[in-house]
Amino acid sequence: MKYEQFIDNKFGFLGNDFLEEIQNRTSIVQIKSKTEIIAEGDRIKSIPFVVKGCLKVYSLNDGRELIYNYIKPGETCLMSFSTIFSDYKSRVYVVAEEDSEAVIIPVSVLQDWLIKFPEINKLFYYEFDQRFTDIMKMVNDAVFHKLDKRILSYIKQQISITGNNPVKLTHKEIANNLGTSREVVSRVLKKVENEGEIIQTKEGIKMPLNENIRLG
């Protein structure tokens, strides 16, 4: 998605005065893959809106990642946004999952806009609904789905995010993101490979084009 198209699609409903403000009071940045944008405890100074690429939002517990959601084009980090009403300190980590581009809105500017353009709240109500749905799905998967289904769902998600099939994923990376051990992931991947659900190659993990994964 091009920058101009992104701005028009995301903020056009707020009118020309707002579009002029966003041109003058924001910046656009290029973010290299695996770059950490926000760390837990960081003071939030700006809010990113993803134009292209993907950002991962997660927390750490004993060195293991708990992924909350992925921020895709047209979306923002609602957890970062929520801190501007409290202590301004992040409770999560945000890392670029791939080479990305984002519009950066300073917190002070966003606070001005919430007063000057109150309809912008509709945007954040929508974002809140989307992120709440993501977290509900994450909890549902963790509680009700067996590990093999969770691993297949994660691989499928990564293929969708990156557009790559096969997708480059290490067993350790999968284990960290799903809160388990590398050894367990290796055993599960071997099992689902024998069942024909995936193919493991030097290029990564591939799902057959005619795959029919039952995630429910």
- Supply the range of the domain harboring residue 156: 143-206
**pTM score above 0.85:** no
Angle value at C-alpha 58, between 114 and 125, nearest 5 degrees: 25
- Same domain, residue pair 111 and 151: no
- Same domain, residue pair 59 and 150: no
CB 112 within 8 A of CB 41: no
- Same domain, residue pair 21 and 110: yes
DSSP state of 43: B
CB 140 within 8 A of CB 180: no
**Domains held by the chain: number:** 2
Lowest mean pLDDT among 28-32, 114-118, 160-164: 160-164
- Same domain, residue pair 184 and 80: no
For residue 171, tell me if it sits in a domain.
Answer: yes
Question: How many angstroms separate the CA atoms of 158 and 22, rounded?
Answer: 32
What would the two tokens of residue 204 be? Answer: 């990564």
pLDDT digits (tens, 9 = 90+) for 135-194: 777 676 665 568 888 899 889 988 988 888 999 999 988 888 787 888 889 999 999 999
pLDDT digits (tens, 9 = 90+) for 47-104: 899 999 999 988 887 777 778 888 888 888 877 777 777 667 888 899 998 899 999 9
- Same domain, residue pair 160 and 79: no
